[in-house]
Amino acid sequence: MKKHLLMSVMLAAMLAACSSKPVKTTSAPEVEDKSMGTESAAAPTDEGSASTAGVAGSDMSGNPLTDPNSILSKRSIYFDFDKDDIKPEFRALIEAHAKYLASHSNAKVTLQGNTDDAGTREYNLALGQRRAVAVKNALNVLGVQDSQIETVSYGEEKAKSCAGDIKCGELDRRVDIIYAGE
């Protein structure tokens, strides 16, 4: 997995360069890195067993969830300051994940809400949750079952230290989609 990461980063960067959308696509591998890298060994086994069993059909071409050519490899939805409404540019991403989840009933996702570091930790935890719930509601509308989704929040705990600089916290205000077993 890790060997492919560098490749993914490069591909994602190339894609980003080609696509009309700037900046944010490049951060998808960065988010994957966070979720897969450090403490995955300590992850509870019951979650691990759910894994990516539902990938049948994608056989030779690999897992669409991690294929940088697939929109499913894009996992972050970004928000405006103090907002939880989903911006139009993330609609396609959410629709793709909704379709995947609807057709892979064994697949489960954690929607992990995040905020910038302005304000207090517990209130930011609640704000991150509000964003995770907004993405969940969007997935529900597109037919995804509650049993496939857990919404959690890291609040500002993963945020860069921005000393309250709104521009700096841009990439911190996001929801990450993490599939069980990743």
Partner 1 sequence: MMNLRIFLPLAFLLLPLTSRAALTIEIVGGAAQQIPIAIVPFAQPANPQALGQQQAISDVIAADLRRSGLFRVLETRGIANQPHDVSEVRYPEWASLQAQALTIGKVENLPGNQLKVSFRLLDVLRQNQLTGLEYTIAPAQLRLTAHRIADVIYEKLTGEPGVFSTRITYVTKAGKRYSLQVADADGFNPQSVVASNEPIISPSWSPDGTRLAYVSFERKKPVVYVQSLVSGKRYVLANYKGNNSAPSWAPDGNKLALVLTHDRNSQLYIINADGTGLRPLSQSSRIDTEPFWSADGQWIYFTSDRGGSPQIYRISPSGGDAQRVTYEGSYNVSPRISPDGKSMAFISRGQGGFRVALQDLTTGQVQILSDGPQDESPSFAPNGRLILYATTVRGKGTLAAVSADGRVKQRLSETTGNVREPAWGPAVK
# binding residues, partner 1 (CB under 8 A): 32
Considering only 8-16, 40-48, 72-80, 92-100, which stretch makes contact with partner 1 by CB under 8 A? 40-48
Smallest gap from Cβ 90 to partner 1, in A, equals 20
CA distance to 7, 52, 75, 171, 178, per residue, from 174 (Å): 24, 24, 10, 7, 13
Residue 142 lies near partner 1 (rule: CB under 8 A) = no
Contact between 144 and 99 under an 8 Å Cβ cutoff? The reply is no
Closest CA to 172 of 94, 79, 83: 79
Q: Which residue among 77, 118, 135, 175 contacts partner 1 (CB under 8 A)? A: 118
Q: Which of residues 46-105 bind partner 1 (CB under 8 A)?
A: none
d(CA 55, CA 101): 11
Smallest gap from Cβ 20 to partner 1, in A, equals 34
Q: Which residue among 136, 170, 171, 177 contacts partner 1 (CB under 8 A)? A: 136
Q: Which residue among 125, 139, 144, 171 contacts partner 1 (CB under 8 A)? A: 125
Q: Which is nearer to partner 1, 105 or 145 (CB)?
A: 145
Considering only 16-24, 65-73, 90-98, 160-168, which stretch makes contact with partner 1 by CB under 8 A? 160-168
List b or e across 127-137, with b for residues whose CB sees 16 or more CB atoms inside 10 angstroms. bbbbbbbbbbe
d(CA 112, CA 133): 10
Residue 173 lies near partner 1 (rule: CB under 8 A) = no
d(CA 175, CA 182): 16
Strand stretches in 27-130, DSSP E: 76-78, 109-114
Q: Which is nearer to partner 1, 13 or 98 (CB)?
A: 98
Task: Please give the residue ranges that form the binding site for partner 1 (CB under 8 A).
Answer: 38-39, 42-44, 110, 117-123, 125-127, 129-130, 133, 136, 146, 149-155, 157, 161, 163-164
